[in-house]
A and B are shown apart, each in its own frame.
Chain A
C-alpha cells in the first residue's frame, strides 16, 4: 500500500471515529449491557447481588404478565391507527406544498413548525384542549353549529374508546411535518416529462397520481413508512404527558412506558431489559421485512 493510499484509508477511519465512538458508547454498549441484564434477576435496590435466571424474565413477560400484553396491545393500536393516518395526511400536505408557487417557504415552515415544539409543551396544551368538561374541543362541539351537524361533546382522553385515538390525533398534528417534508422532496425528484407525456396521452389527474407519482415515490414512501413504524413502536412522550397514569383501563399505557415504570419506578432492571429486548426484536423483524420488500422493488 502506498503511503497516499494508507493516509486515505486512515483518514476515512479518522472521519468515522467520532461518530463510531459515540455510537459504541451510547448505543452498542448499553444494548449489550441490557442484553446481559435481561438474563439476570437484578433489582437495583436489593442488597442481593444479581442472579442468573436464564430465560425466566422473557417467559414471565410473554407467558404470565397480563400488563405486558395490555401495553403491547396499546402500542399496536397506536401504530395501526397512526401509521395510515400519518402517511395519508403527510402525502396530502406534500402534494399541496409542491403545488404552492408563492411563499412556499412559509407554508413548508408552517407544516414543519409543530415538530419543533417539545413534546411536553404539546402534551400539556393538548391535554387542556381535550378536557372533557371545560376543554377547547368540547367547547366547539357543544355549540349549536356542532349540534346542527349532529356532533356532541366527546370524552376524549377519559373514555376507553376515545383515549388512544385522541393520542393519535395529537401525534398527527405534532409529527406529520417531517414525513410531509420528506415526501415533498421526493415529489420534486419526479421528472416533469412523465406527467407531460401522460397528459398528452390523455391521462387524468388520478391516473397520473396512481401510475406515475406513487411508483416513482415508492422508495421515499417506504422509507417514511419504516421510520414511522419504528417511531410508533417507540411512542412514549406523547402518551406519558397526555395520560401519565396510562389512561382509562390502561388503554394508553404503551410498552415503552411500562418498561420505564418497571425500570425506574420499580427498579426491576432485569425484567425491564428483557421487555426492551422483546420490543427490539419486534421492531427489528418488522424493519427487515420492510427493507426486503423495498430491495425487491
Chain B
C-alpha cells in the first residue's frame, strides 16, 4: 500500500492507535509499579461476601485503614456468598487463597479440614492483642475448632423479630399504653397470627398475613427445635445422626400444624421471598430474620421516603419452652500459608475492624465486643439493642465439616414436611438416614471429627 499524498493517510486510525498505545502503556507501567511495589509495604488481599450495604461499609473501613497505615495495603474483593465459598475453596486448593478472608462460623470446620486457616491464639494473646473476655463466650467458642481459635468473629447476627407496629395497632395487639406489643410466647404468637391474617379487599383471598416465610426457614426450624428442648442433631462424638428425636419432632409438628391444620402461615417454599417482600409492602405483620435485613428496609425507605414502614425489632418469640434463636458470625480468618510478618499485618487489619465494630454494626450487625455494645452510640440503635439482648440464648449450627451436606438434607426433607408430602417424623428419619451415610463416608475418608 502506498500513500501518494498526505491526505490519504488514515489519520483517524493513527490517532486512535497512538492513543490506545499510550493509555495501555500507562496502565501496564502503573500496574508493574504497584506489583513490584515498595519493599516496605505489605500487600494483603482480603476477600469477603459482603455485596450489599455491609460491603460498602467494609470497603470504606478498608480505605481508611489503608490511609492510616503506610506499611500495609489491603485490596478487597467481594462476591456473592454462594459463589464466594466455591471460589475461595478452589483458590485455596490451587494455593492462591487471599491472605485475609471472611467465613461464617458454621463453615469454619471445612476450612480447618482443608488446612486453609491459621489459628490466631498467639496473635490475640500477643502484645497487640485483644482481651478475649471482651467477647461473649458463646461467640468466642464458635470459632474454637479442635482446641484452637481459627479466626476473630467481627459480629454476631442472631435471628430476631421484625414487626409492623402500624398493623399491630390496627388489629389491637397492643400494651396498656396502646402501643404495638410484640408476641413473646406461643399463645401470643399464634393469637397475633390469627388477628393479623385478613382479607382486606373482601375478594375471598387472604391478602394480609401475620407471618410468612422468606426462602426456606431452616434458621427458624433450628431455633424452634432448640426452643422445644431439642436442637441436638448428632451424638457427642459425631458418629451418628440422632435428629429424629421427640423434641425436634415436636417443633416440626408445631410448624406443620400452623401451616396445614390452622392455616395461619402459607406453605414455606424454597425460593419464595414473599415473606420479606410482603413485610416491606406492609402486608405481612411479622418477620423472623437476621439483623442484616435491616439494610434492605432502609433501602426501601431511601428509595421512596413516602413509603415509610413502621416497624420495630424484638426478641424472637419463644414458641417452645425456652428462649433460643439461631445465630451465626462473620469470622475474619488468616491464610495458613503466609509468613509471620504478613500474618501480623493481617492481624493488625482484623483488630482494626474489630476495634471499629460500631461502624461495622451500623451496616446491619451486632458487634461481639461487649465494650463496643456499651457505647452510647450503640445503645441508640433500637433494633440492634433488641437483637443484642438475645445473645445469651443464641444457638449456632453444629460444627460440621459436612455442614453443606447437612443443610441440604435438612432443607430438602423439612421442606417436604412443610409441603405435606411426608410427615415430620418421616422427614427427620430421612435426614437421619442420609446423614448417617455421609458420616460413614466421611469417617472412612477423614477419620473421626475431633471433639469440639
Q: Is B338 an interface residue (CB 8 A)?
A: no
Q: A249-B416, A266-B404 are in contact. Are A158 and B271 (CB under 8 A)?
A: yes
A242-B273 Cα distance, complex, nearest whole Å? 11
Give the residues in chain A near B278, CB-CB below 8 Å: 133-134
The answer, yes or no, to whether B212 is at the interface (CB within 8 Å) is yes
Interface presence of B190 (CB below 8 A): no
A contact residues around B90 at 8 Å (CB): 264
Task: Given A133-B283, A244-B82, check contact A158 B269 (CB 8 Å).
Answer: yes
Give the Cβ gap from A50 to chain B, nearest Cβ, in Å.
11
Assess the B277–A142 pair: CB atoms within 8 A.
no
Cα(A186)–Cα(B114), bound, Å? 55
B411 and A245 form a contact (CB under 8 A): yes
Is A56 in contact with chain B by the CB < 8 A criterion?
no
Q: Given the complex of chains A and B, what is the CA–CA distance between A127 and B281 in angstroms?
A: 17
Q: Are A247 and B274 in contact (CB under 8 A)?
A: no
Q: Are A250 and B412 in contact (CB under 8 A)?
A: yes
Cβ of A149 to closest chain B Cβ, rounded Å: 16
Q: Does residue B415 face the partner (Cβ distance < 8 Å to A)?
A: yes
Contact of A133 among B86, B212, B416 (CB under 8 A): B212
| A131 x B203 contact (CB < 8 A) | no
Q: At the interface, yes or no: A193 with Cβ under 8 Å from chain B? A: no
Check if A75 is an interface residue, CB within 8 A of chain B: no
- The reply to whether A158 and B267 form a contact with Cβ atoms under 8 Å apart is yes
Closest chain B residue to A153, Cβ basis: B205
A6 CB-CB contact with B under 8 Å: no
Q: Is B277 a contact of A247 with CB atoms below 8 Å?
A: no
B405 at interface, CB cutoff 8 A: yes
- Judging by beta carbons under 8 Å apart, are B405 and A266 in contact? yes
Interface string of A37-61 (1 = CB under 8 A from B): 0000001111110000000000000
Total chain B interface residues with beta-carbon distance under 8 A? 40
Are A264 and B86 within 8 A (Cβ)? yes
> Could you say which of A45, A153, A242, A244 has the most chain B C-beta atoms within 10 Å of its C-beta?
A45
Contact A45 B113 (CB under 8 A): yes
When chains A and B are docked, how far (Å) is the Cα of A242 from the Cα of B203? 30
Complex alpha-carbon distance, A134 and B89, angstroms: 37
- The residues of B that contact A47 with a CB separation of less than 8 Å are 446
Check: B28 CB closer than 8 A to any chain A CB: no
- Cβ contact within 8 Å between B205 and A242: no
CA distance A250 to B421 in the complex (A): 12
Docked CA distance A154–B101 (Å):
43
Interface residues of B in 167-217 (CB under 8 A from A): 203, 205, 207, 209, 212, 215-216
Set of chain B residues within 8 Å of A238, measured between Cβ atoms: none
Cα distance A213–B323 in the bound complex, in angstroms: 71
Chain B contacts of A247 at CB under 8 A?
270-271
Task: Taking A47-B446, A133-B207, A242-B271 as given, write out 18 further A-B residue pairs in contact, using a Cβ cutoff of 8 Å, ordered by the A residue number.
Answer: A45-B110, A45-B113, A46-B446, A131-B272, A133-B274, A133-B278, A133-B283, A134-B274, A134-B281, A134-B283, A158-B272, A160-B421, A245-B270, A245-B412, A247-B271, A264-B90, A265-B85, A266-B405
8 A-B pairs with C-beta separation under 8 A: A45-B110, A46-B445, A48-B445, A134-B277, A248-B269, A248-B270, A264-B89, A265-B86
